[in-house]
Structure 1
Amino acid sequence: QARKMMVDLPLMMEVLHSGDTDIKMKALVVFRNIMGHLERKEASAIAVQLVEEFLPLFDNECSQLRELSVGLFRDMVESVEGSDRKKMQKKVQRGLLPLFFHMSDQTSSVAE
């Protein structure tokens, strides 16, 4: 079922860039659920490909969207295994500065 939904991944990524806040949050929840149902090796490869797509959402004015995007970013980083780790490391480094700025976010779950 999750693999079938991966066909919709490009559409979901488009929504993250152009949809309104409520739709973006729903897309993140769906994406998190899909990733949770994939085999670890599949999830690892997809995480490396898409992790950078979530960086712009860290600065969204909606604290719930920031919380979801930071949480999904964390989950994606943790899902990586094997040879994907080096690829992910480079991409994570690009996300560290935005994450650092959110350490003092008013929403405690984002700051954590």
Structure 2
Amino acid sequence: MDVYSSGSFRQINSILSKTMAVVSSGDFTLESVDTVAISSTGSFPTTAISANGTGVVTIKKTFSNSTQMQAGIEAWKIANFSVSYTGTNAKEFYARKPVSLSLNYSLY
């Protein structure tokens, strides 16, 4: 945000960047990201903004045997991830979960 401040007066002049990303990623990626940030009053300058973001958290896992893979798949399903893999002997799978974040920010 571009914020102007003088004494007790403050205003947000504009939104400089709208970014949503995985902070501590490890093996995770964030796909299909859509972010929106708008003035809460309808225009700039303003004293408050609302921001929303959606995306899909994805992780790709590879296991050395089918038993480990089945246990891994079950663990991701318990965490409400959708899991996809190909073939009956596949040892690689993807776990995906939609995420949504909202933020309301006010200078006062």
TM-score clears 0.5: no
Larger Rg: 2
Comparing both structures, which one devotes a greater share of its residues to helix? 1
- TM-score with structure 1 length normalisation? 0.24
